[in-house]
Amino acid sequence: MPGNGTSNVRPLDVVIGVNGIGMGHTVRQSVVAQYLHDRGHRVRIVTNGQGRVEYFRDLGFPAWDAWMPTLLARDDRIHARDAVRANIRQAPGGLLRHLRLRRAVRNSGVPDLFVTDYEPNTPRLAYHFGRPLVSIDQQSKYRHLDLPTVGRYARTADEQRLRYFAPRVDRSFICSYVPLEAEDRGLEFIAPVVPDLVRSALVTTEPLATAYFSRYFDHGPEESVRELASVFRQSVPDRTLRIYAQPTELRSLRGYADTRIEIRAFDREAFIADMARSEAVFSNAGFNLISEALVLGKPVHLIPLPTYDQHWCAKVIDEAGLGTAAPRVERRAVLDFLARGPVLRDNVVRHRDLYLAADPRERIASYLESLPAVDRPMPAPIAG
């Protein structure tokens, strides 16, 4: 296989399933997919949402749009009645789409193995075709570890969702930016998967703070942007605040800009470059953004969205001294975070060098390449 020094390794055929909610799963699995492709393996993608399909196709990967059921939590649990009510109209069409997906996979070549990231389609395909199933995600810690409640949030719904999506896996790689341990030998904790764009970014420290707040159902970015802009306008005269937002949010946010407060449409390369030169980062508590900020050596001030995952991430960051967290943007908390900036940055750099320096892609690829070979026919051309 060209350029990878692993010419004695047989080429694999891999199908990766990607949760299509948000960009975190998509970014992580696109990095894994590209790495496997560069090692000479064939990679195809199953996701949900035409935008995600086009994202992967633009990267050169065949991709299918599959059905993702709605499993919303109420009182930290997924209730059967709610699940039926939310999916009853879409279920017949969703089942038909899955059967078409199964046929498309068979016709284009049953792979050697399936990889899943917090979605139900590749597990069902793996069980149907009798192939190994490997999970690469960050959520599986909620299934395997007895993690405590955070405020009024518990891990119950996340655990239920994981058990529904993938009742069993052959191996689970769990991304974590803090050390975690488990006795289960089927688990392996790895550093977060981040793009080369992040690892190779030019890191400096300028009088700049970068912010990004996302939308989660009815919880939008406007309150956080308004309050953060107000704090910087009135109390932080010596720094520029650059706030990124999705294009659909710009109209409601542009009014908070002034000479030192910029509101920009989200562009991933520009956002990474600004994080790399910032003193500090403000955001919700999404796993991928936190991971990228830590790899860049930047402390974060987190405003978690109303999920257990985000509250757990915010709590861990605060307790580890890698940043701070608050339920909402508040002047005192923001100014305290900025005042502690040098100490927090030193903590982040030490933590990064100790726990996040290793690139986990080699470990993932080595494990996949070690799996026993399966007999499979030569693939036919891939159907869209």
**pLDDT at residue 374 in the model:** 77
Judged by DSSP in three states, 190 sits in strand
Cα(271)–Cα(261) distance, integer angstroms: 15
**pLDDT at residue 7 in the model:** 57
**pLDDT at residue 1 in the model:** 39
**pLDDT at residue 2 in the model:** 40
Contact predicate 123/165, CB 8 Å: yes
Cα(186)–Cα(264) distance, integer angstroms: 43
Global pTM?
0.92
Q: Which domains does the chain have, with CATH numbers?
A: 13-193+360-370 (3.40.50.2000), 197-356 (3.40.50.2000)
Cα(349)–Cα(133) distance, integer angstroms: 35
Flag residues of the chain having pLDDT under 50.
1-5, 382-384
**pLDDT at residue 373 in the model:** 81
**Within the chain, where are the H helices?**
24-38, 50-58, 80-87, 91-108, 121-129, 141-144, 156-165, 196-199, 222-235, 250-253, 268-277, 287-295, 308-319, 331-339, 341-351, 361-370
Cα(276)–Cα(270) distance, integer angstroms: 10
End-to-end CA distance of the chain: 27
**pLDDT at residue 3 in the model:** 43
**pLDDT at residue 378 in the model:** 52
